[in-house]
Chains A and B, each alone.
Chain A
């Protein structure tokens, strides 16, 4: 059971980080970013190039992923989403733009990196083991390092949003856009910062996980779907909700894959069925209201 709990926590930490960026963008701009998974993939490839291909230190790979996605996110917001939001009265326009971006990224990544799966050397060797009569836990050290980094990043993000000036400005925008504008908060500046931060989070988690799961060009779509699932569980646009959604989904997966295996591959079937029932009772998710 302890192995199942650790597996669930590990999955939960990575899911929470993926969902954070998505929910931030939704909270600030009311944009459902269907290209979030593709941004994760781009981040994975940047770390692969710097760490796996060029042989530079892993932290430089992560830094490259963060900076690349920060810039890509800012450019996408400024030149694509901002004009569409300004000109279009229909909310679906941004959804269509995001879906188009997802296809675009998929095609470009396939062209640049090919269809093959890519991996990188382990960032840390060794295995942590506890084997007694009652407890059996085996965790590779690199997984421990990744989960610690993921938790540090989540805490740093929460602190940034809670106590920094840009963080407070973005929270104000998410709570009440009009009131924040009247108080002198620049919608354009903080909208761009929020989108860039959301993209950066996707890129960083892609870079982190390339050390465990590798990266390939076609995986962005399924990652976006899982991210939306977590956001639906926790409540759209709510940071603690995204974190909770990530950990709940991770734990459900880990427990389901062990306890339901005798009935076939029905874990996700059960999760989706439970989610439908849950959403019919709580349509806004666990914490479905603007955060602040």
Chain B
């Protein structure tokens, strides 16, 4: 009898409370259209995990307040499989769901594929792809979510020129569009800095033994060897071949690399290799960033350096909406607000700000402002070489 009464009481309370609980928050849907399967899955998975971790955290604290209303965040995901048709379908699905803010895609072709849908149906999207035409006028709806190679490359060359006396550079890229376009950007930046270009070589993307590829470059003894757009698995193979053939200069890449693969593939020969890291280092990160890393690790097992950059896109979307509540259904308002938008950066110590950047590279502010962290590999891990900003 007692049990029956208790159950009735619980049921009564639940009935009384549930309408209040369900009516408390509306839902704000944020989309993700990116690659979460196949060879490039790691890029998109990092995005999704960042978004889900942050959304769960915000929801657990009662949601996000935008214009007097409080919303729970719901992340709607779509795997492009790195396929342009799938990417376009994904963006169309987001439109059908009434979503105006999407993170992704992760590759150049898929980012280009979603552009017509996004611009026609009023969606702001945050790609992790480098083509400048996505972010320069007349394009209006894409916001680059990371640091591009044509921004990190010059910073690295300048640092090495000024601090290490680097005068000559050799470029090496896989014979495929992304890498070759990154090589062209690097060559142009190096020329602009007055560096002597010794080589602009390429290799078949399925090359495994790089001794024959790097032999002629090593013989010319450049001060710096740049691996343009190099894949994480290929970098250690090239580094090892070059070092074993007696190359003693600097080696760098403008893209993020994997310390574990460098350690396994090249061991101590990879020491001194310079690349771009995620947008956070132990020295600059705030307590909130530490908490994010803790929650991410708790939910997904292992934290990766790339997530230090990918944590930002959702934050930029939400903070811009908080500052401009009518933008929630109107991306024109969002775009108009981007030039002057400013909010405290919760992931960095001190008074750092969230600001859109990109005027120098794109002629308009269509890039999230994140710290550019350049790292040096040493004995199995990356150490911060220097931290700077774009624009």
Query: Hey, which bits of chain A sit against chain B, CB under 8 A?
Result: 3-4, 7-8, 10-11, 14, 52, 115-122, 127, 129, 136, 138, 140, 143, 209, 212-214, 216, 218-219, 222, 253-254, 257-258, 261, 264-265, 267-268
Contact in complex: B245, A214 (CB < 8 Å)? no
Residue ID in chain B nearest A226 by CB atoms:
B206
Asked whether, in the complex, the Cβ of A258 is within 8 Å of the Cβ of B215, the reply is yes
In-complex Cβ contact of A116 among B203, B208, B232, B245 (8 A): B232
Find out whether the CB atom of B212 lies under 8 angstroms from the CB atom of A7: yes
Could you tell me the distance in whole angstroms from the C-beta of A117 to the nearest C-beta in chain B? 3
Of the four ranges (under 10, 10 to 19, 20 to 34, 35 or more), the interface on chain B belongs to: 20 to 34
Bound complex: CA A1 to CA B264 (Å) = 31
Residue in B closest to A48 when the chains form the complex, CB atoms: B264
Q: When the two chains form their complex, are residues B245 and A268 in contact, meaning their CB atoms are under 8 A apart?
A: no
The answer to whether B265 and A117 touch across the interface, beta carbons within 8 angstroms, is: yes
Residue in chain B with minimal CB distance to A268: B204
Binding site for A on B (CB under 8 A): 39, 41-42, 175, 199, 201-204, 206, 208-209, 211-213, 215-216, 219, 232-234, 236-237, 244-246, 258, 260-261, 264-267
- What are 11 residue pairs bridging A and B, where the CB atoms are less than 8 Å apart in the complex? A3-B245, A4-B215, A7-B215, A117-B233, A117-B236, A118-B261, A213-B208, A214-B236, A216-B233, A218-B39, A265-B201
Looking at the complex, which one of B209, B233, B234 makes contact with A212 (CB distance below 8 Å)? B209
CB contacts (< 8 Å) of A11 on chain B: these are 209, 212
**Contacting pair B216 A119 (CB below 8 A):** no
Closest 6 CB pairs of A and B: A117-B233, A222-B206, A265-B202, A119-B265, A119-B264, A213-B208
Query: Which B residues are in CB contact (< 8 Å) with A8?
Result: 212
Contact A261 B39 (CB under 8 A): no
Write out the residue numbers on chain B whose beta carbons fall within 8 Å of the beta carbon of A219: 206, 208
Q: Which residue of A lies closest to B234 (CB)?
A: A117
Residue from B39, B216, B244 within 8 A of A115 (CB atoms): B39
Whether the Cβ atoms of A214 and B212 lie closer than 8 Å is: no
A60–B175 alpha-carbon span in the complex (Å)? 37
B237 lies within 8 A of A214 (CB): yes
Q: Are A115 and B215 within 8 A (Cβ)? A: no
Asked whether B215 lies within 8 Å of A14 as measured between CB atoms, the reply is no
Which residue of B41, B219, B236, B246 is within 8 Å of A119 (Cβ)?
A: B236
Tell which of B244, B258, B264 touches A52, judged by Cβ atoms closer than 8 Å. B264
Among B41, B203, B216, B246, the residue within 8 A (CB) of A258 is B216
Q: Bound state CA distance, A261 and B217, in angstroms?
A: 10
- Per the bound structure, the CA–CA distance linking A122 and B264 in Å amounts to 10
**Central interface residue in B175, B199, B258, by most chain A CB within 10 Å:** B175
Indicate if the CB atoms of A14 and B209 lie closer than 8 Å. yes
Q: Is A257 in contact with B216, judged by CB distance below 8 angstroms?
A: yes
> A7-B215, A214-B237 are known contacts. Are A138 and B264 too (CB-CB below 8 A)?
no
Given contacts A7-B215, A122-B267, A257-B213, contact A265 B208 (CB under 8 A): no
Q: How far is the CB of A274 from chain B (nearest CB, A)?
A: 16
CA gap between A234 and B1 in the complex, in Å: 90
Expressed in whole angstroms, the Cα–Cα distance for A283 and B348 within the complex equals: 67
Give the residues in chain A near B215, CB-CB below 8 Å: 3-4, 7, 254, 257-258
Q: A115 → chain B, closest Cβ, in Å?
A: 6
Chain B residues contacting A267 (CB-CB under 8 Å) are: 204
Query: Taking each of A52, A116, A219, A264, which has the highest tally of chain B beta carbons within 10 Å of its own beta carbon?
Result: A116
CA of A143 to CA of B202 in the docked complex: distance in angstroms?
23
CB-CB under 8 A from A10, the residues of chain B are: 209, 211
Of all chain B residues, the one with the shortest Cβ separation from A4 is B215
Q: How far is the CB of A226 from chain B (nearest CB, A)?
A: 8
What's the minimum C-beta distance from B119 to chain A, rounded to whole angstroms?
Answer: 33
Tell whether, in the assembled complex, residue A261 and residue B199 are in contact, meaning their CB atoms are under 8 Å apart. Answer: yes
**Smallest Cβ distance from A208 to chain B, in angstroms?**
12
B264: which of A120, A129, A212 is its contact (CB, 8 Å)? A120
Give the residues in chain A near B232, CB-CB below 8 Å. Answer: 116-117
For A120, list chain B residues within 8 Å (CB): 264
